[in-house]
Structure 1
C-alpha cells in the first residue's frame, strides 16, 4: 500500500495551512485507482467502519504529514461530513488526542501505530475535537513517541441524502 502511494507523493510540496488551518506541514492527494491489494485493504476497513447503507466518498484522500507537521484540534461539520471516518495509519506512529467540546476535562489519547486503523463515529465524531500531536508533545504512557513522516489513508461516509461523489470531488468542508 505504501509503495503504491510513493509516485503520487514525489514532487509535491508540503503545505503549511489547509483551508481551515487545522493541518500543518502536509501534502494531500487523492487515490481513485488502486491495486487489487489496496482495494482489499480498503474493503476490510470499510466493512469494519461503515454500515452497509452508508454512502462513501468514492476517492480516497491520502494525507502525508511531515515529521514536524500536526493536525490541530478541530471538529468536523455535520453538514458536510458523514457519520463516520476511518483512517489507515502508515509509516510512523502518532498520538491522537480527543477532547470533549463541552467538557474539556473529558479527554482521551490514543496511540496510532503504523498499520493501525482508527474509526471515529457517533459521539466520538461530533462531540469531541481531535488532533494529531506535534512531535515534541507526542507522549503516550509516559514515553515519548518519536514522530517521523506519517501517512493516513482516509475513508469517509457522506452526509445522509448526498449521493456518491465523482473522483476528485470532496465535500466542501470535511
Structure 2
C-alpha cells in the first residue's frame, strides 16, 4: 500500500520529478536476474505506469485496482536472449506480409503467427515467463502468440475477447519500446499510460484487461511524460491462459 500511495503522490509532482526518457531507455541498462523479479522491478511504479491528469484526484479505489492488476518487469530478457528469440522467429515472420485489415479492426500494420516449439535456450525463456506470470495450476494455451507490429503500425483501443484467452496474459516486448494507453470503458476520464520498454515483460489481468481498453500508441501519439518515444518495429511474444469453458460456448 505504501508503494501505491507513493505512486499516486508522485503523479501530482510529476513536473518536478520528471524523468529524462533517454536515460530510461538507454541500451546498457542493468539486467535484472530472474530470481530477483519476484521482489524487484515490478510496477506499480511511477517509472513505468503513470496515471494521467484526466483522472479525478479523489478516485483512489479504481486507481489502485488498475495499477495493481498490471505488472511490468524491465529487462526481463538480456540482449543475447532477445537475439536468440528473434533468430527463431524471423524466418517464420518473413514468410508473412503486413496486414492492414484486422478481422476486428483492432490493429493496423501487423503480421502474426503462433509457435509451440522452441530451441532449448528459448524454451527456457518461455518457461521463465510462465513461472513469473501465472500460478502453478494455471492452464495455458500451448502456443505463444507472436504479434509483429510495423514501425508505423499501432493497436487501437480494445478489450480482449474472453472466448480467446483466460484472465491473465504475459507479453515480452522485443525490438522496440512502446507506450500502452489504458482507458476505462465506462468512464473515459480514467486513463493511465504504461511504458513498455524493449526487452521488458508485462503482465495484465483482471481490471486492467476487462474494464479498461488498451492500445499501443503509434505515430505522433507515441509520447511518454511529454517526450516523443520513437516507435520502431516491435514484436510482442504473448503467453495466455486458456479461456474458461463457459466462454467458449
| TM-score (structure 1 length as normaliser) | 0.89
Displacement after TM superposition at 1:51 (Å): 1.2
For 1:61 and 1:44, the matched residues in 2 are separated by 16
Of the two, which has the highest radius of gyration?
A: 2
Q: Which has the higher contact order (CA 8 A, sep 6+)?
A: 1
Q: Which one has a larger percent helix, Structure 1 or Structure 2? A: 2
2:127 equivalent to 1:40: no
Any idea what the Cα deviations from partners look like across 1:27-69, whole Å, max 9, x if unmatched? 1011121011111111111112111221111011110000111
Displacement after TM superposition at 1:152 (Å): 0.2
Displacement after TM superposition at 1:99 (Å): 0.7
Q: Helix, strand or coil for the counterpart of 1:39?
A: helix
| TM-score (structure 2 length as normaliser) | 0.63
Q: Which one has a larger percent strand, Structure 1 or Structure 2? A: 1
For 2:227 and 2:123, the matched residues in 1 are separated by 35
Aligned length: 164
Q: What aligned pairs does 1:126-165 form with structure 2 within 5 A after superposition?
A: 126-161=210-245
What root-mean-square deviation, in Å, do the aligned CA atoms of Structure 1 and Structure 2 show? 1.6
For 1:26 and 1:160, the matched residues in 2 are separated by 28
For 1:99 and 1:30, the matched residues in 2 are separated by 28
Residue number in structure 2 paired with 1:10: 94
Displacement after TM superposition at 1:160 (Å): 2.8
List gaps (5 residues or longer) in structure 2.
Answer: 1-84
For 2:139 and 2:219, the matched residues in 1 are separated by 35
